[in-house]
Amino acid sequence: MKSRIPVVLLACGSFNPITNMHLRLFEVARDHLHQTGMYQVIGGIISPVNDHYRKQGLVAAHHRVAMARLALQTSDWVRVDPWESEQLQWTETVKVLRHHHSELLRSLPRREGPDHSRARTAPTAVPELKLLCGADVLKTFQTPNLWKDAHIQEIVEKFGVVCVSRTGHNPKEYISGSPILHRYRHNIHLAREPVQNELSSTYVRQALSQGHSVKYLLPDAVITYIRDHNLYTRDSSWKGSSTQRSEGKTGWEESASPQNSS
Amino acid sequence: MDNSEKTEVVLLACGSFNPITNMHLRLFELAKDYLNGTGKYRVIKGIISPVGDAYKKKGLISAHHRVIMAELATKNSEWVEVDTWESLQKEWVETAKVLRHHQEKLEAGSCDHQQDAPMQARPGQKRKWAEQRQDISPKKLLEPKPKDVPKIKLLCGADLLESFAVPNLWKSEDITQIVGDYGLICITRAGNDAQKFIYESDTLWKHRNNIHLVNEWVTNDISSTKIRRALRRGQSVRYLVPDLVREYIEKHDLYSYESEEKNAGVILAPLQRKPADTHS
């Protein structure tokens, strides 16, 4: 019997702050991959972007990492990794993938000799690291000069993408509209979130700055943290647009300047 | 307006809560922020009233479980609680009756509180109160000022508002009572549709000042139906319902293809009642 390919899901993004929607991405992606019969999801990583990303309203990385950690307290398979946020400068997404992939390979148990009890069973497949994102991110691949073509290719060819649907987006269109994506479409998994949810960090920040409740949109522990550290208040540097939908969840390949519209 | 001039409000949400989800809980938060934001109201409590089993809705699991899940969901809430009165009744109870029950309970509670006040005071204060009592007529003591009794309002989504149009589902006098005597807070994405619906109904239009439409800018589609479907298909409902609720569902294996067939072919209780049978 063919054994399933072990997979770790990596989500890059601002997580400013982390919300139940982000946490749902992992759940939906895992269910989807399991239902293909081909994969076994063995872990999830949240990688908050570096402060040098310089996105407007981005609170300090150590807060964003702490909030993600609190949100994942009750998760037995997803963790936060601060490596990207601790680098001296902003890091392209493909480099973050490369880093975590080599870490993953390094942590594999070393195979013993033929006497090892495992020799009987089918050899464990090498785990794959896949980029987890929303459909809005897949769309940004199209933006001219935003991503290096070579990077897009490496991401879809060498790693693979699990893309969770989002209202107002048609990921199949994005794939068929791009030669590279189309070529590696077998490695782009489109997962459908059965419960449409337009929740975004932008909305959460807006609500907080107006003193409105965000309970049940993100874990209680994160809300407490935000309150204790006085984040996202009206006085904070956030001046985001209320119509902005795109969270720009992965890094900008060319420069640190933010995209103005999606 | 300072707090003493604001009308105190208790939000009551009726429904199946089969199961309760983060969306239900959000309704309370949105309603509270809205009402408090008007400056005229102060929301002091939220009540979740799960419907009784006699409602006979398809897929409705036992009230016992639904009540416990709602209690688990509100464990961390400082102001929303669960009330079991409706679920414990043997027959299905019209929403207007549930509202009336809770409003009367508030009025009775307010009365008792005023009478008991002297008992709860410290000895020093008690004497002072006793002296002052001579100036207050007994009748005044027993009748709480209308403004002092909190007002019950029905909290709901647009689906409930628009269900007023379903033939034979609601008695017209009940609708009148709900919007006339109590008031409705309706959380909706499609504000225009709801406004149109109100406009097209003479009863609703007449009491439009008592119908508050609160816009839900972020589509939050976490319906119980979708949760049950996901559970049947072995899909995760994590972060859609509170963790304690999810764990309870898993532990008791509550939702399955079998459970969804409960009451299949049975007519919903409100539709079973002929107009002549019922007196509100």
Binning pLDDT at 50, 70 and 90, where does residue A145 land?
A: confident
For residue A217, is it within any domain?
A: yes
Q: Is A129 on the interface with B (CB under 8 A)?
A: no
pLDDT for B274 beyond 70: no
Average of per-residue pLDDT across B161-173: 93
Q: Please report, rounded to a whole number, the percentage of residues in chain B having pLDDT higher than 70.
A: 84
- The pLDDT score that the predictor gives to residue B192 is 83
Residue A62 clears pLDDT 90, i.e. is over it? yes
Residue A103 inside a domain? The answer is yes
Task: Give which of B58, B46, B51, B60 is closest to B84, Cα–Cα.
Answer: B51
pLDDT tens for each residue of A187-212: 999 999 888 778 889 999 999 999 99
A224 vs A63: CA distance, rounded Å: 12
* pLDDT at A248 > cutoff 90: no
> CA–CA separation, B179 vs B195, rounded Å?
14
CB proximity list for B88: less than 8 A, separation 6 or greater: B52, B63
Cβ pair A196, A221 in contact under 8 A: no
Mean pLDDT value of segment B250-276: 88
> Using a CB-CB distance cutoff of 8 angstroms, which residues of chain A are in contact with residue B230?
194-195
Tell me how many domains chain A contains: 1
Predicted confidence (pLDDT) at residue A249 exceeds the cutoff of 90: no
Q: Does residue A89 register a pLDDT over 50?
A: yes
Structure tokens at A225: 């943290």
Find the closest chain B residue to A213 by CA distance: B29
Query: Given phi > 0 = left and psi -120 to 50 = alpha, else beta, which region is A111?
Result: beta
Q: For B23, which residue in chain A has the nearest alpha carbon? A: A216
Taking CB atoms and an 8 Å cutoff, what residues of chain B touch A200? 218
Question: pTM for the complete prediction?
Answer: 0.83
Contact A197 B236 (CB under 8 A): no
Q: Tell me, what CATH number does A156's domain have?
A: 3.40.50.620
Nearest to B239 among A27, A196, A200 (CB): A27
Give the pLDDT score at A126.
87
The C-alpha angle A246, A250, A253, rounded to 5 degrees, equals 110
Tens-digit pLDDT profile for residues A232-247: 987 764 443 333 333 3
Percent of chain B topping pLDDT 90: 74
Q: Report the pLDDT value the prediction gives residue B115, as an integer from 0 to 100.
A: 52
Second CATH level (architecture) for the domain B7-111+147-270: 3-Layer(aba) Sandwich (3.40)
Mean pLDDT for all residues in chain B: 87
- What is the predicted pLDDT for the residue at B126? 45
CA gap B203, B163 in Å, rounded: 14
Whether pLDDT at A31 is above 90:
yes
Alpha carbon distance B232, B271 (integer Å) = 28
Binding-face residues of B in 35-64 toward A, CB within 8 A = none
Is pLDDT of B276 > 80? Answer: no
Q: Is the pLDDT of residue B277 over 60?
A: no
Is the CA virtual torsion B34, B39, B40, B43 positive or negative? positive
DSSP-derived 3-state class of residue A252: coil
Q: What is the pLDDT of residues A154-196, one digit of tens each?
A: 999 999 999 999 778 889 999 998 999 999 999 999 999 888 7
| pLDDT recorded at residue A123 | 53
Whether A167 and chain B come into contact, CB under 8 Å, resolves to: yes
pLDDT at B218: 79
Give percent of chain A above pLDDT 90: 66
Q: In this predicted structure, what is the pLDDT of residue A124? A: 63
Residue A252 has a pLDDT of 34
* B window 75-104, beta carbon within 8 A of A: 76-77
Please list every residue in chain A whose beta carbon sits closer than 8 Å to the beta carbon of residue B219.
167, 196-198
The nearest CA of chain B is from the CA of A184 a distance in Å of 27
Do residue B236 and residue A194 have CB atoms under 8 angstroms apart?
no
pLDDT value of residue A114: 58
Average pLDDT over residues A77-97: 97
Determine the pLDDT at residue A251.
34
Does A215 touch chain B if contact means CB atoms closer than 8 Å? yes
Report the pLDDT value the prediction gives residue A154, as an integer from 0 to 100: 97
Residues 216-245 of A with CB under 8 A from B: 216-217, 220
Q: Is the pLDDT at B217 greater than 90, yes or no? A: no
Q: Is the pLDDT of residue B65 over 80?
A: yes
Task: Tell me the C-alpha to C-alpha distance, in Å, between residue A191 and each of A104, A137, A161, A162, B200.
Answer: 24, 14, 10, 7, 41
Domain-wise residue ranges, chain B: 7-111+147-270
Q: Which of A54-68, A166-180, B90-104, B111-125 has the lowest mean pLDDT?
A: B111-125
Q: Is residue A251 part of a domain?
A: no
User: A156 lies in which domain range?
Assistant: 5-107+126-230
Whether A199 sits inside 8 A of B222 (CB atoms) is no
The answer for residues whose C-beta is within 8 angstroms of residue B72's C-beta and 6 or more apart is: B242, B244, B245, B248
